[in-house]
């Protein structure tokens, strides 16, 4: 199975850092904390902006949250940066053999299980907020 890309963890890192800062965060500041290239930060900030999670000011204006961290769930972040959110987390192999008893029925039988697994993931992500994650980090609970 292809793992969820690092965009998700980077986006959560960015939002948690922006949430903890009293001032808008610059790309270079964010890139220094994430320890990655500012180009990656700009790309992910663009996705987060499109999703309405951050506001980005040109130049050295930096990024700030578009709504309170208590209202930004990890599911919001996942949907903002992962293509799998729209397509579904799991993909199925093309064209199982219809002449085979298992091949004929595997997709229908497995799809219900895969939908349930994705729903469980989404429920868990929906229950967690950037504010809660930030609190866990700052309280040393992790």
Q: Where do the domains of the chain lie?
A: 6-138
Q: How many CB atoms lie within 10 A of CB 124?
A: 11
Q: Would you give the DSSP letter of residue 98?
A: T
CA 68 to chain CA centroid, nearest Å: 17
* pTM: predicted TM-score of the whole model, two decimal places: 0.85
Residue whose C-alpha is closest to residue 124's, from 77, 86, 48, 73: 73
Fold of 6-138: Arc Repressor Mutant, subunit A (1.10.10)
Tell me the β-bridge partners of 129: 73
**Region 29-41 average pLDDT:** 93
Give residue-wise pLDDT tens across range 54-102: 999 887 778 999 999 999 999 999 999 987 666 677 777 778 898 999 9
């Amino acid at each position: 199975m292809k793992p969820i890309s690092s965009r998700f963890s980077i986006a959560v890192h960015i939002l948690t850092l922006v949430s903890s800062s009293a001032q808008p965060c610059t790309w270079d500041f964010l890139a220094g904390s994430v320890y990655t290239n500012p180009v990656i930060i700009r790309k992910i900030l663009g996705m987060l902006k499109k999703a309405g999670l951050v506001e980005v000011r040109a130049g050295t204006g930096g990024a700030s949250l578009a709504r309170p961290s208590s209202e930004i769930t990890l599911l919001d972040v996942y949907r903002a940066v992962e293509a799998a959110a729209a397509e579904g987390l799991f993909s199925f192999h093309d064209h199982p053999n219809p002449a085979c008893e298992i091949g004929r029925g595997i997709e229908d039988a497995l799809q219900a299980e895969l939908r349930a697994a994705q729903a469980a993931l989404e429920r868990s992500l929906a229950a967690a907020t950037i504010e809660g994650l930030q609190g866990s980090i700052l309280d040393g609970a992790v």
